Amino acid sequence: MSKTVLLCSPVYFDIEYEINPWMDKDNQVKQDVARQQWLQLNGIYGRMGWQVEHIDPVEGLPDMVFTANGGLVIAGKVALPTFRAPDRQPETAHFRQWFEQRGYTEFLQPKYDFEGEGDALVWNDIIFVGYPWRSDKPVHAELAEFFGKKVVSLQLADARFYHLDTCLTIVDDQTIALWPKAFTKEALKAVHNTVPNVIEASDEDALAYGLNASSDGKNIVLSDRAMGLIKTYQERGMSVHPIPISEFQKSGGGVKCLTLELR
């Protein structure tokens, strides 16, 4: 299944502030390595037959590279981000402008904190939405009303996995993968009650950001250090594309963080 995704070049990507447990201004990004890793991701999507759109990077907004936080797009409707961290709040206007220039007209600007696909993952006709680290639980009702979809709320339990997309992967229409320790017992139960097949990742694969992945059901792109998940997906007959994400993980990001799906 071909997808259309939005990426942003890491021209200005750096660690200029610390807003999650991974970020450390003393552990700076190697710009040339980050560029190579991003170009590799961009190229893989193209070879998989996905259409890749680009938004221009903006100086002073280093985290715009993580386009997944730039919105949630379903059937041409866009829920824009309401960023919790003041450092990231200016990004919203740039994402909105990009969508408007391409003819999108239906927008939700949530009253409550919401960080786009970072915390909202679409599985079939359901939206899994994470909280509380970067998105507020009351935003879930806003999303349900705006998109007319069922929302399943998932409480996250480990601050290192501060966005839902860092600890849960939509693999295909029957399967998701997750790291159980990132969720409360109630959240895990909600997933198991909803999804037929749940792959549980090891601690090692979770910490390698192996769950921050992009899949179309046949192809999956993920961290090259998530050896257990790579093997699992290969055994399922998927075409697996492992790539290095070391520079982006310094900022708490990976494959999925760098990718916004345009439905």
Residue type, 176: I
Report helix, strand or coil for 44: helix
- Do 136 and 82 form a contact (C-beta atoms < 8 A)? no
pLDDT grade for 22, boundaries at 50, 70 and 90: low
Catalytic option among 8, 140, 167, 257: 257
pLDDT grade for 23, boundaries at 50, 70 and 90: low
Tens digit of each residue's pLDDT (9 = 90 or more) over 222-243: 999 999 999 999 999 999 999 9
pLDDT grade for 49, boundaries at 50, 70 and 90: very high
Mean pLDDT, the chain, whole residue set:
96
Mean pLDDT (whole number) for 63-85: 98
In terms of phi and psi (left: phi > 0; alpha: psi -120 to 50; beta: otherwise), the region of 33 is alpha
User: In this model, does residue 18 exceed pLDDT 80?
Assistant: no
In 10 A of CB 20, how many CB atoms? 17
Residue type, 151: V
User: In this model, does residue 62 exceed pLDDT 90?
Assistant: yes
The percent of residues in the chain predicted with pLDDT above 70, rounded, is 98
The percent of residues in the chain predicted with pLDDT above 90, rounded, is 92
Give the pLDDT score at 159: 93
Give the pLDDT score at 252: 87
Tens digit of each residue's pLDDT (9 = 90 or more) over 134-177: 999 999 999 999 999 999 999 999 999 999 999 999 999 999 99
Residue type, 30: K
Mean pLDDT (whole number) for 52-67: 97
R_g of the chain, CA atoms, integer Å: 17
Mean pLDDT (whole number) for 87-116: 98
Mean pLDDT (whole number) for 123-142: 98
Tens digit of each residue's pLDDT (9 = 90 or more) over 27-47: 788 899 999 999 999 999 999
pLDDT grade for 25, boundaries at 50, 70 and 90: confident
Residue 208: phi and psi, rounded to 5, are: -85, 5
Model confidence, pTM: 0.96
- Do 81 and 114 form a contact (C-beta atoms < 8 A)? yes
Instruction: Count how many Cα atoms sit within 13 Å of the Cα of residue 196 in the half-sphere of its side chain.
Output: 6
Known catalytic membership, residue 257:
yes
Catalytic option among 140, 163, 167, 241: 163
| Greatest pairwise CA separation for the chain in angstroms | 44
